[in-house]
Structure 1
Amino acid sequence: MGSTVGSFRTPEGVTLGVEHFGDAAAPLVLLVGGTTMLSWPDSLCEALARGGRRVVRYDLRDVGASTSVDPGNPAYTLRDLAADAAALARGLDERPAHLAGIGVSGMVAQVAALDHPESFAALTLVGTRPVAPGPVDDDLPDHDAEMMQRRFALPMPDWSDRAAVEFAAAAAELRGDDPGTARATAERIFDRAPSTEPGVQPANQLNLVFAGLDCTPRWRERLPELRIPTLVVHGRRDRFFPVGNGEALAREIPTARLLVLEQAATAIPDAAADEVAAAMLAL
């Protein structure tokens, strides 16, 4: 199934890189990049499109084909990223969209659904948690300590060299994801990065935007306000955001259903794409 790449300019003047799958007249499923659009596998986008949805995945600011200014020092906030999602949804379809976030972009999706309820009719949260990057609440499981120690022991590569994608494969294996798939995705991310300037590739490959992003105020206590159909998807083997985080989201969002992928970690494996798509289409 083919796709079309393009861009969308928000009312605030931010350009977002986008890719479209499926019938442009079909109900919209908007996939927030986590941080690049390639965090959403082609297999899932295609399965959703076959299920009668218009699927649009997009890059967050400072990565991929979106506006990039200073990835290491974002002058915008989590609320601004949430507003981008709402503006994109309204710009693509007058009907409320099904919004989905994965990993750190699941935080964007939660805030967008809370702050812009008129823009969204359903919500999918994949491999994420109900608090911002940094110290977690006492009842939430933090990153696996051994995994993080081994991850930070990996020598940082020269990101001007395409061979640096081996770092992404090694880090993915530590997280429990398939290194071959991660390597192929990292190669695509490398080739889509807007320049070879220092800092650009690490921002695209390592989600560094969230290291300096203002994510205040907290939103976890507002989750019971969500009344739209919600799917929480989490990999049983996720060592970065352990599954207890997804379980907490499913408990605190009144309309949520939890889908645990027993053989998955942080990424959605191609083998699980049809199962995840079916659950999303059922919302």
Structure 2
Amino acid sequence: MEMTGATLVAEKIIAFEDAQLHTQAFGDPAHPPVLLIMGVMSSMLWWPERFCEELAAQGRYVIRYDQRDTGLSTCYPPGEPDYSFSDLADDAIAILDGYGIEAAHLVGMSMGGFLAQEAALRHPRRVRTLTVISSSPLGVDGLPSSTKAYQEHSAAAESLDWSDLGAISDFLRRDSAMLAGTRHPHDAEAASALIARDMGRTASFASATNHFMLLSEDKAATLHASRIDVPVLVIHGTSDPLFPIEHGEAFIRVAPTAQLQRIAGGGHEIHDQDVDEMVRVIADHTGF
């Protein structure tokens, strides 16, 4: 164990079947547990340490983890993921099992928001509340696509040489800038440092592209946000270029327990200057 600021931090490897997941917990295990689920191609480092520390300081036991094919968790050959999207949702429950937690508050970002919804739908007794950040409700069609500028940018990934770490790093830096909102200046230096740290922490960064294969899977017809019966908090930036704000607003139309916290000018990111606001509403939402 170690201390980060005034917060006790512990690391743990959850091993099951053919995978190992690297996890890190902040705070007191006696406090209500909050499991953080990050998005596509992103290790747990994309949950900022200050975010985790401040949420722990609000009396929560905060767990973040590297999903399969990210960070220090099990990696598979690029193009050959030996797991499904539903397996990733079940991984969240396996982590709760590994920590001896009966039920937790789930917080999912982007793709992690889809995974958190699926976990809540398929394992309702294991989920106390759900928080969805910069994501979209499962099973809801007819919502706006990402902005044209972001679509043009992301199309460049199709011709990217994923064995060229320099080219990958350059693309991810551009991606981080494209996903930024309008409320705060984009911190290119901090983004570059995080990308370098993330890339240097895994044996096969190209394996993370396996997540895109999972996103193309057909979801079961029963997986629909309207069937979520735990309290739902939606946090969504009004300038999100990947999932426009209409995706966040759709939650409060279809999910009976949903409430929406708009981040004015926020993008598809957890910006350092928005951490205090986000932690405050999550702490209020998970306060039981």
TM-score (norm 1): 0.87
**5+ residue gaps, structure 1:** none
State how far apart, in whole Å, the 1-side matches of 2:162 and 2:206 are: 10
Q: Please, which runs of 5 or more residues in structure 2 have no aligned partner? A: none
1:25 alignment counterpart? 30
Paired letter, 1:7 = I
Matched, 1:184 2:187: no
Match of 1:150, SS state, is helix
Task: Identify the range of structure 1 (147-156 vs 240-249) with the bigger mean alpha-carbon deviation.
Answer: 147-156
Percent identical pairs in the alignment equals: 33
- C-alpha spacing 1:170/1:187, structure 2 compared with 1 (3 Å): same
Distance 1:71 1:219, change over 3 A: farther
The aligned runs of 1:1-283 (5 Å cut-off) are: 1=5, 2=7, 3-10=9-16, 12-34=17-39, 35-131=42-138, 137=141, 139-153=142-156, 156=160, 160-161=164-165, 164-176=168-180, 178=186, 179-193=188-202, 195=203, 200-204=204-208, 208-213=209-214, 215-218=217-220, 222-283=224-285
Q: Distance in 2 between matches of 1:59 and 1:33?
A: 8
Q: 1:60 is paired with a residue of what secondary structure?
A: coil
List per-residue Cα deviations over 1:118-174 (Å, max 9, x = no partner).
111011111111248xxx82x201111222213434784675546853332212112
Indicate if the aligned counterparts of 2:30 and 2:61 stay in contact, CA closer than 8 A.
yes
C-alpha change, 1:221 and 1:114, in structure 2 (3 Å) is: closer
Conserved 8 A contact 2:93-2:119: yes
2 CA distance for matches of 1:184 and 1:257?
Answer: 34
Deviations 1:90-141 (A, max 9, x none): 3324331001110111111110000011111011111111248xxx82x201
Asked whether the equivalents of residues 131 and 234 of structure 2 are also in contact (C-alpha less than 8 Å), the reply is yes
**Is the contact made by 2:109 and 2:134 (CA closer than 8 Å) also made in structure 1?**
yes
Paired AA for residue 213 in structure 2: G
1 CA distance for matches of 2:253 and 2:222?
Answer: 12
Say if 1:123 and 1:228, in contact at 8 Å, map to a contact too.
yes
Deviation of 1:53 (Å): 0.7
SS of alignment partner, residue 105 of structure 2: strand
Q: TM-score, normalised by structure 2?
A: 0.85
Shift of 1:246: 1.2
| Cα pair 2:118 2:223 within 8 Å, conserved | no
CA distance in structure 2 between the aligned counterparts of 1:53 and 1:267, rounded to whole angstroms? 22
Secondary structure at 2:224 match in 1: helix
Q: Relative to structure 1, is the Cα distance of residues 221 and 67 closer, same or farther in structure 2, using a 3 angstrom cutoff?
A: closer
Letter in 1 for 2:132: L
> Structure 1, residues 59-85: CA drift from partner, whole Å, max 9, x if none?
111111111122422121111111111
Distance verdict in 2 for CA 1:220–1:39, change over 3 Å: farther
Q: Helix, strand or coil: the match of 1:282?
A: helix
Moved more, 163-172 or 119-128: 163-172
Residue 34 of structure 2: SS of its match in structure 1? strand
User: How many equivalent residue pairs?
Assistant: 270
